[in-house]
Chain A
Amino acid sequence: MNVAMQQSTSPPTAAAESRYAAEAQNVTVEFHGHKAVDNVSLGIAKGEVCAIIGPSGSGKSTLLRTFNHLQEPTSGQILINGRPTVPGSRKPKPADLMQLRRTVGMCFQSFNLFPHLTALENIMLAQTKALGRSKDEARERGRHLLERVGLEAKANARPSQCSGGQQQRIAIARALALDPEIMLFDEPTSALDPELGAEVLAVMRELADSGMTMLVVTHEMNFAEDVAEHLVFMADGVIVEQGDPSSVLRSPQQERTQKFLRAVNGR
């Protein structure tokens, strides 16, 4: 099996020189004996947009979720800016995880906004409770971010009063409020119709242009080709093929990649 891996050249101690903002080293995730992610290594350079594509059950979302330890790897480790997320021991401490998640933001397929809070309150909560910002500062920052995603008018609306596309943009603003260095996106447009998906992708495109390091699990091939600098194709828990998006999408080398892309393009 051809597992195209970017082998880590630097030892974990050389934190300052790491060329990766985020890196998975030999990550395996096992569910009841089944390896959803099987010994995968993947590096994302600073400022890079990396898109992961692949069929359902390929382990792409599971891999993504190991980067902020929403999914605990069974073995292997995650490095952020060259430093292991779990120093030493196997079991991460809550404080370590909280610190990690302030550096690595995440957006979900189903948005997961807090329905009992307004858009602005959604964006303020973690600023005040995780970062310890004052309410005024958090509100100010929240308004600014809502403006950035084009939703300043929705500041006092509940999520249920917003479209799916608007909810996802609020969720992006909520994650950005913590000033993360890396953003994870888990199929951010899969629950949206194409029109609403487009407005979310526009925000993500702007975010990529601003230099944010992004890891995006997606089925949006155009976005992957236009915006991503690094494309990863996963199947059956391993990276089958990766590289420059255009070359992977237009002239895939592996049979499994060809089969997947034929199915996607045939629709």
Chain B
Amino acid sequence: MGGAGMNTDSWSDLLADLLPGLALSLQLTAAMLAMGLPLGLLMAVGLSQKRKYVSVPTLALVEIGRGIPALVLLYMIYFGLPQAGMSLDAFLSAAVGLAISFASYTSEVFRAGLAAVPHGQREAGHALGLPRTVIFLRVLLPQALKIIVPPLLGWAIIYFQATSLAFALAVPELMSRAYVLATTNFQYLNMLALAAGLYAAISIPLSLLSEHMNRRGSRTATS
């Protein structure tokens, strides 16, 4: 494939060449979410602690995560960490770096969602003698998720697109694959347009879903 018969390659052949890249991008997104979502929630809990020795360091972490460009984070983990005696492979470095960035941004979404649950809910939980963890997991979080999920989906879409930064660590994800193939068949415009189309094919339906959920959420947000 590729090389020789480049001008005769059909769109579907080019697309087939890109699909493994898309699969890797989706895997990278999944790995990033698997780490980033719990971390974001954890940061939100840390941010809303009254105890300063918890909330202040968490805030510092969040600000660092948001203040540093994601690409710099990826480089620091992939090229920097080995100097500190810890090396991760390219895929994992990208997933971890993106997860830190994602968590830093979404911690505020989690925090706001949890804060939007009426105070009486927490009080009722306490008045029933429920342990704190049960109040959090069974009373507050389910109610907060209704508020949190639509904006979280929006962030997930942005970070799905941001997986293209893993290109810089030579992870053969969608963007990387499109570029590498283009360097062999010289169809830069076609390859990049196809990659863009694939990113959009995933992103646009999801952002429509997010908007739909948002509208439905605001209509039923009564109790």
Give the B-binding residues of A (Cβ under 8 A).
68, 70, 94, 97-102, 105-106, 108, 110, 112-116, 125-126, 129-130, 159-160, 174-175, 178
Contacts and interface: CB of A to CB of B under 8 A. Distances in A.
Interface in B155-183: none
B130 interface: yes
Given A129-B134, A160-B223, A101 B128 contact: yes
Interface stretch (B11-19, B81-89, B93-101, B135-143): B135-143
B132 A94 contact: yes
Contact of A108 (B120, B130, B142): B120
Nearest to A68: B127
Contact of A178 (B123, B129, B143, B222): B129
Given A102-B129, A108-B120, A114-B124, A129 B138 contact: yes
Given A97-B129, A125-B130, 20 more contacts: A68-B127, A98-B129, A98-B131, A101-B126, A101-B127, A101-B129, A108-B120, A108-B124, A112-B123, A113-B124, A114-B124, A114-B143, A116-B143, A125-B134, A129-B131, A130-B128, A130-B130, A174-B128, A175-B127, A178-B128
Contacts of B128: 101, 125-126, 130, 174-175, 178
Interface residues of B, number: 20
Contact of B222 (A70, A98, A113, A160): A160
Contacts of A70: 123, 126-127
A106 B127 CA distance: 6
A224 B5 CA distance: 93
A126 B138 CA distance: 11
A115 B130 CA distance: 17
A94 B143 CA distance: 24
From A100, A110, A112, A125, residue with most partner B Cβ within 10 Å:
A112
Nearest to B128: A126
Contact of B139 (A101, A114, A160, A178): A114
A15 B120 CA distance: 33
Contacts of A106: 127
Interface residues of B, dominant DSSP: helix
B190 interface: no
Interface in B185-223: 222-223
From A98, A110, A115, A175, residue with most partner B Cβ within 10 Å:
A115
Contacts of B124: 108, 112-114
A70 B121 CA distance: 13
A127 B129 CA distance: 10
B126 A130 contact: no
Given A125-B138, A129-B134, A159-B223, A112 B129 contact: no
A107 to B, nearest CB: 9
Nearest to B121: A112
Contacts of A94: 131-132
Contacts of A113: 124
Contacts of A114: 121, 124, 139, 143
A56 B120 CA distance: 19
Contacts of A160: 222-223
A105 B222 CA distance: 27
Given A112-B123, A114-B139, A126 B222 contact: no
A187 to B, nearest CB: 13
Nearest to A102: B129
11 contacts: A70-B123, A98-B130, A101-B128, A105-B127, A113-B124, A116-B143, A125-B128, A125-B130, A126-B129, A129-B134, A129-B138
A97 B126 contact: yes
A115 to B, nearest CB: 4
Given A108-B120, A108-B124, A115 B129 contact: no
Contacts of A101: 126-129
